[in-house]
Structures are given as structure tokens and as C-alpha cells.
């Protein structure tokens, strides 16, 4: 067998290994990752001038400043969500506790 034939055979074997690792779940996870990455880019687009200005004034890498701003935005969104969800779940508990009789809505909570 020549070296060219061995090279072709090894390339085919490597292709089979890649095909085995790309099962539907892997493809779905990769697709979801890229969709989220695309959505994040649209969310962070208005903050580009702020990132550039902060990176220049603080003399930090742009990536670090962008990640910090994104973390602040995620923390703010989580805080707003926690403030909104807390009264909703507390309302479910108190409605069944005050009447003593579980209602259809309290069972769903």
C-alpha cells in the first residue's frame, strides 16, 4: 500500500469519527449556542460605544469590559425577574393557605 493510499484511508477513518460525534443532540446544542450568540450580539450592539469608551479610559481589554457589562445586564434582568416572580409565587401560596381548601389555581402553582 502506498503512502497516498494510507493517507486517504486515515482521512476516511477520521471522517467516520466526526460523523459519529455529530449526532442530532450535538447538532441541536450547537445550533442553540449559535442562536443565543447571535441574539447576544444584537442585545449588546447599542453598548459598543460605552464599551469602547470604558476600555480606553480604564485601559482594560475590550473583551473584559464587554463581559463585565453583559454580566451587569444579566444580573439586572435576574433581579427584575426575581422581584416579579416572588409576588406571583407568594400569591399562590397565600391563596391556598388562607382558604384552607385547595382551588384549581393553587394546585397549578
44 contacts 70 by C-beta, under 8 angstroms = yes
What is the number of structural domains in the chain?
1
Predicted pLDDT at 70: 85
CB burial of 18-52 (b: ≥16 within 10 Å; e: otherwise) equals eeeeeeeeeeeeeeeeeeeeeeeeeeeeebeeebe
Answer whether residue 16 shows pLDDT above 90.
no
Residues 23-43: tens digit of each pLDDT? 788 888 889 988 988 887 887
Answer whether residue 99 shows pLDDT above 60.
no
Helical packing angle, 24-44 and 62-99, nearest 10°: 100
Predicted pLDDT at 54: 94
Predicted pLDDT at 98: 54
| Nine cell digits for residue 43 | 442585545
Predicted pLDDT at 103: 55
The range of the structural domain enclosing residue 88 comes to: 3-108
Predicted pLDDT at 58: 95
Amino acid at each position: 500500500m502506498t503512502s497516498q493510499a494510507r493517507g486517504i484511508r486515515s482521512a476516511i477513518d477520521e471522517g467516520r469519527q466526526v460523523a459519529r460525534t455529530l449526532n442530532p443532540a450535538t447538532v441541536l446544542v450547537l445550533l442553540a449556542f449559535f442562536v443565543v450568540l447571535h441574539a447576544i450580539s444584537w442585545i449588546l450592539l447599542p453598548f459598543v460605544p460605552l464599551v469602547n469608551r470604558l476600555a480606553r479610559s480604564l485601559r482594560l481589554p475590550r473583551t473584559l469590559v464587554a463581559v463585565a457589562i453583559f454580566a451587569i445586564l444579566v444580573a439586572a434582568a435576574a433581579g427584575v425577574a426575581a422581584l416579579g416572580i416572588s409576588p406571583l409565587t407568594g400569591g399562590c401560596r397565600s391563596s391556598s393557605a388562607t382558604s384552607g381548601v385547595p382551588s384549581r389555581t393553587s394546585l397549578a402553582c
